[in-house]
Amino acid sequence: MIRFENVGLRYGTGPEVLRDISFTLPPGSFHFMTGSSGAGKSSLLKLMYLAHRPSRGLITLFDRDVALLKRDEMPEMRRQIGVVFQDFALLDHLSALDNVALPLRMAGADEGDIVEHCTEILRWVGLGNHLHATPSTLSGGQQQRVAIARSVINRPRLLLADEPTGNVDDGIGMRLLYLFEELHKLGTTVVIATHNEALIRRFDHPRIHLENGRLHVLPANSAQWV
């Protein structure tokens, strides 16, 4: 699903924020990503999402060398990836339901199916009473749940989430992780960046740990770096 070989990333002429990153994530795997603030978690996720190009090294996604992708091939590649970043990127003039529906409408799904599926997923994340609310009327945690619902609505091949439980209580956090678990059981490869050790320990998944710009892959519930 994803392969990095000796990847480095720097912004402008500054020092490398990621150095000699090498790992492979098989299809259908589930990994947590951990590391202190500034360790490079968000940068690594953006490389996986093709939002950044590496400064050096090889990245392979869905068996394609991303350096060889043509510009017109990028949108189709990205449509196979569900992404939850911390800025949410919701459209202010659209309702919660219409924000969630965007990936399905872009794919040409039947409108009746769109409304049914989007209503169901919004109820699952606890927003069944806010289907027609615009983002400006929702709290930060509610906006985050809308963004999560949008990222999973079309069952992407790869799901990347940056602190998806950061603005919600532990009860909602567990519910969101169970949603990711269900998607994982359907075959989606999942990578979740989080600081929440209590939630991590509830699930038997390995972790990718970033420390000083370098990466270590640790077994499930490893005590190292905790």
Question: Does pLDDT of 226 surpass 50?
Answer: no
The answer to the question of residue 50 being in a domain is no
pTM: 0.84
Question: Does pLDDT of 191 surpass 90?
Answer: yes
The answer to the question of residue 107 being in a domain is yes
Mean pLDDT value across residues 92-107: 93
The count of domains in the chain is: 1
The answer to the question of residue 95 being in a domain is yes
Per-residue pLDDT of 60-99, as tens digits, reads: 999 999 999 898 898 888 889 988 877 788 999 999 999 9
Give residue 12's pLDDT band: very low, low, confident or very high (50, 70, 90): confident
The answer to the question of residue 168 being in a domain is no
The answer to the question of residue 58 being in a domain is no
Give residue 173's pLDDT band: very low, low, confident or very high (50, 70, 90): confident
Give the pLDDT confidence score for residue 225 in this predicted structure.
Answer: 46
The answer to the question of residue 139 being in a domain is yes
**Domain region containing 134:** 90-154
DSSP states of the chain: -EEEEEEEEESTTS-EEEEEEEEEE-TT-EEEEE--TTSSHHHHHHHHTTSS--SEEEEEETTEEGGG--GGGHHHHHTTEEEE-TT----TTS-HHHHHHHHHHHTT--HHHHHHHHHHHHHHTT-TT-TT--GGGS-HHHHHHHHHHHHHTT--SEEEEESTTTTS-HHHHHHHHHHHHHHHHTT-EEEEE---HHHHTTS---EEEEETTEEEEE-TT--TT-
Give the pLDDT confidence score for residue 224 in this predicted structure.
Answer: 53
The answer to the question of residue 126 being in a domain is yes
Mean pLDDT value across residues 183-203: 88
The answer to the question of residue 117 being in a domain is yes
